[in-house]
Structure 1
């Protein structure tokens, strides 16, 4: 699996040192591990996690299949309280190894009842960086299929117990522009029924302002609308997740077709939409609130360039340093310069926009 355009473009961006490039490509070609998160209320999650750790993992230790040792599941080191796991076994092992087949059946059952969420490790990160608390008003702007939404909803319900559910004072609005995908959101959220969840179907880049009463006042039935409206103000959010549509070239390990079709134009074409969604989020954020912007792309045009343009357009906002939030997480700082291309064949001859413009003199 190779793509010359991909290698040429990303080597020019200096996204990592030259001596790590071969290792990076090999990682992209390696199978993606299976990862899951122990979900539900904190108390329930801790009990189930102890069951996995003390019962299932010891039972899977020392398994040999067709002459080869198979490693048991391991906890993801950076996830809080060790509530996320990963294992890397083939479907053949899951089907034919008695020990792993039993564990797989356990995972399927617990997933169906909402105690486990099958979720990729990187997908777990954005909600963690939001640090949602039960009183927060939260907006997930591009929420489908809903694994991050479920994670946010669990954070709102952090005070739930094994035997009772809480009524969080906060709110979560999960939005998606595709009406069919909103059904996936509802299906995902059904595993944790909550009075604090609302699902909407709007274009995130022009998400409408939501008006709420300024005071708890009951108006007479014949009160004019314009009078009632004066008692309203726009709902602003404490936390907003912008997991925006993207080219997805960070998902090559599971979407092998990207190796054949990748082009820098994929990211270029989405930059404008991504920026508009982020700017809309910034306008709906309460003072002192937080936005997490995320993609599943490694393209700086879809990441750093969007953030830079948004901050330039709204200078009252600032970046937050979250490098110490998950101490065990291995990460790399974002880059501060990049070389865009407006050509499918990856012509990178113009370090700046001005240099490009000079080749197209006005007539």
Structure 2
């Protein structure tokens, strides 16, 4: 599908086969987080300083929204954390502080969608597919960023369709002891209107982190190497579109919705965004977020892509798709015409 340049392909495959590093954020009010971070540096990062075999902790500096060295990556797998008494102490400390809500164990890529929401303390926020809740917790922290205002006027509604996952969501966010959130258990594509003072609530910020094929999680979920097939993305696009459509309907004028997946497949990304922009033509536009993530390496959104069938056959246009495949591979999965592409600005990623 030409998603990765030829000169990066070998490095890309090698990266997918490496263990996923441990990443975490220090959470809470600023004075508290700085005290926790000082303790981590002085007591638990010391073994890294003298070691010649273990990489030093790496600060995640892809955003100006995490000042003060509060998000970190340890280039260690979970097994390596158990490999020495010093590292075992760090592992136990991270687990203990996670239970207390002082630390959030969260993948680096998972931290990005809440960051670009640009949350302010007065915002009404909807997280449409929230479980297990790491992004929701991050959103709540952003609401409480102003230490002089312990109870902001904004709030978060966190929804998930899976009842059991909602319990995980409750456990994740209740540690923050915030009064500014509520949890719903509902089909995100059919969310009801919520009212206050007999008026429907429209949200200033919406996170639309939809169910997806998950082919971007190969490092965390090695079973995907055996289970993945191109049809997964095709079968999920309709539910993704229904969820995002409902999100747009609940978005306040001038509001911001972030659509995110953990897939690299353009059917779930560029093709999807193209459909959504055309469906709400003139009412929504795609924003460029590169300036919000100055330390993150990115590539522009694609303007051309192909579709891969069940048996690895490649289709460059809908005219090439045989009739028995047309229920799975649909016309709107292909890039639109050049004149429409110019209006959509799919490069803005």
Q: Is the 8 A contact 2:189 2:242 kept in 1?
A: yes
C-alpha distance 59-359 of structure 1, shift in aligned 2 (>3 A): closer
How far 1:90 moved relative to its partner?
4.3
> What CA distance in whole angstroms lies between the structure 2 residues aligned with 1:76 and 1:54?
19
Following superposition, the deviation at residue 298 of structure 1 comes to 0.5
Q: What are the residue-to-residue correspondences of 1:79-158 with 2, within 5 Å? A: 79=63, 80-81=66-67, 82-158=69-145
SS at match of 1:327: coil
CA–CA distance in structure 2, aligned partners of residues 148 and 91 of structure 1? 22
Q: CA deviation at 1:92?
A: 4.8
TM-score normalised over the length of structure 1: 0.84
Structure 2 gap ranges (5+): 327-349
Residue 331 of structure 2 corresponds to which residue in structure 1?
none
Runs of 5+ unmatched residues, structure 1:
1-12, 214-231
Q: Deviations over 1:228-263 (max 9, x none)?
A: xxxx22100000000000010000011111111111
| Count of residue pairs the alignment pairs up | 322
Shift of 1:50: 2.8
Could you list the per-position Cα deviations for residues 11-63 of structure 1 after superposition, in whole angstroms to 9, with x for gaps in the alignment? xx221211111111111111111111111222222222233234432343113
Q: Secondary structure at the match of 1:110?
A: helix
Establish whether residue 24 from structure 1 lines up as the match of residue 12 from structure 2: yes
* CA distance, structure 2, for counterparts of residue 328 and residue 95 of structure 1: 31
Other-structure match for 1:190:
174
The alpha-carbon distance between structure 1 residues 60 and 274, as it changes in their structure 2 partners (threshold 3 A), is same
* Mapped partners of 1:54, 1:288: distance in 2: 45
Q: Which residue pairs with 1:50 in the alignment?
A: 38
Residues of 1 paired with 2:153 and 2:302: CA distance?
39
Could you say if the C-alpha distance between residues 298 and 92 of structure 1 is closer, same or farther in structure 2, counting changes exceeding 3 Å?
Answer: closer
Mapped to 2, the partners of 1:74 and 1:22 lie a distance apart of 24
Root-mean-square deviation (CA), in Å? 1.9
Shift, 1:269, TM fit: 0.4
Aligned to 1:10: none
Compared CA separation, residues 122 and 92, structure 1 to 2 (3 A): closer
> 2:284 matched to 1:317?
yes
Query: Which secondary structure state, in structure 1, belongs to the residue aligned with residue 252 of structure 2?
Result: strand
2:232 alignment partner, one of 261, 266, 287: 266
> Is the counterpart of residue 175 in structure 1 residue 162 in structure 2?
no
1:28–1:253 contact (8 Å) kept in structure 2: yes
Matches within 5 A, 1:219-234: 232-234=198-200
Aligned to 2:263: 297
Q: Does 140-149 or 317-326 show the bigger shift?
A: 317-326
Residue by residue over 1:174-218, the C-alpha shift from the partner in whole angstroms, topping out at 9 and shown as x without a partner, is: 0000111111111011111222101001100111111221xxxxx
Which structure carries more relative contact order (alpha carbon 8 Å, separation 6+)?
1
Q: 1:153-179 CA distances to partner (integer Å, 9 max, x unpaired)?
A: 111111237xxx711100100000011
2:194 maps to: 210
Distance in structure 2 (CA, Å) of the matches to 1:95 and 1:23: 28
- Partner residue of 1:276? 242
Larger radius of gyration: 1
